[in-house]
Chains A and B, each alone.
Chain A
């Protein structure tokens, strides 16, 4: 079997990752000085710095000029199969979500939306654009489309205070029962960059979801971008045919 030596940078990242896990460092905790760590692991300062910079970019660490490197706030975990609203899910993780309603308007379906919702060209839909912030930091920009006939008067609901799904369920009897979600990468446009507080062209999650009610069919089609340094997407998979699952995550 071949000899394998990890590259110094890979070794540095692995050691840092191990250090965080082993010492159970918490958000806001300070990492030992770079000098100390590079001596401890026999790494050059520049290799260690490259590794730290990479972890900063990934949202695991942050640095303060002249004072060192710190453990970043935990990422928001978006459970892809959970149907908790974002505010419920965040609360369970000890985070607070705020929603800023950027725009809500009634518009006519273009070709693509009409096809997606199985409606005529020009059928009315609501377009709801919201900026979701976690602990006051921008996290996700969502644009949702909802057939207007299913939710007449949606523009008068308190969409900054209530989740869209609970409005749909409680006020319109639409139950978000199942759906699908696609995830990829996109790059921030100038407008997205400004709202999200990132540089233009920086990578963002691109999430497209469709949610269905048993009777009404597709009730919401949503396109979102999210900051990858503040969010991770998770799911637990179970092989079918096994007995009752254990959903502890």
Chain B
């Protein structure tokens, strides 16, 4: 919660400075992609200790508003990417819609049995063959999300021959006449194991958002299970709701 309304002349200086910097980012004085004044310069301007400046800055780095680049300075991060929970489209569609260039790098593409866990989630027996795909999605060269996708193999029989760098899962399903019409999504916070954290460029202990979606076709058959791990400092999810009468 941003308690800027509660921060006043009696608040600790680092909190006052944090809100001051936040304000300058919001009103455009500090522009996305540009460096803010150095810690030393801020300390001098406001006559406060460098340690206080550091804690103000590191809080904003933690929130994803600023980014420290070794040897270069502290930069303002642009608007967070927004993913619409409402669209049935995949990652690519969402990013393209916002005019950002997205790339996908496949880490794993393999056939495996569903096992108890994925069998239960997809409503198929444990020995059902699934395609398992694990990929990193990047925007502007920076990893944004890690996706784990499980697809019943009989629904997309030739998946191993398809270049996933060219076609999205949604397009491939389309080739086979599979149209997901309903998705059950849940959003949680979890932590990645060290190897996955490295792929996503986050510290292992840091929280990431985990969006799980089970998609169903018109006949109510589960056609896909996707778990998307997203960097909390690069993305927010948004949803629009309306009262039904």
Contact = CB atoms under 8 A, between A and B. Distances in A.
Interface of A: 1-4, 7, 9-10, 14-15, 17-19, 21-22, 54, 57-58, 75, 77, 80-83, 107, 110, 112-113, 127, 141, 143, 175-187, 189, 191-192, 201-206, 223-225, 228, 232-239, 242, 245-246, 249
Given A4-B108, A203-B206, A239 B187 contact: no
B143 interface: no
Contacts of A19: 116
Given A2-B108, A235-B239, A249 B62 contact: no
Interface of B: 1-5, 26, 62-63, 80, 82, 85-88, 108-112, 115-121, 126, 132, 160, 179-191, 193, 195, 206-209, 218, 232-233, 235-243
B232 A14 contact: no
Given A21-B121, A239-B180, A81 B239 contact: yes
Nearest to A201: B62
A38 B205 CA distance: 25
A15 B117 contact: yes
A2 B232 contact: no
A contact face: mostly helix, strand, loop, or mixed: mixed
A83 B243 contact: yes
B117 A54 contact: no
Given A1-B111, A107-B5, A184-B209, A205 B193 contact: no
Contacts of B110: 1-4
A19 B120 CA distance: 10
Contacts of A246: 182
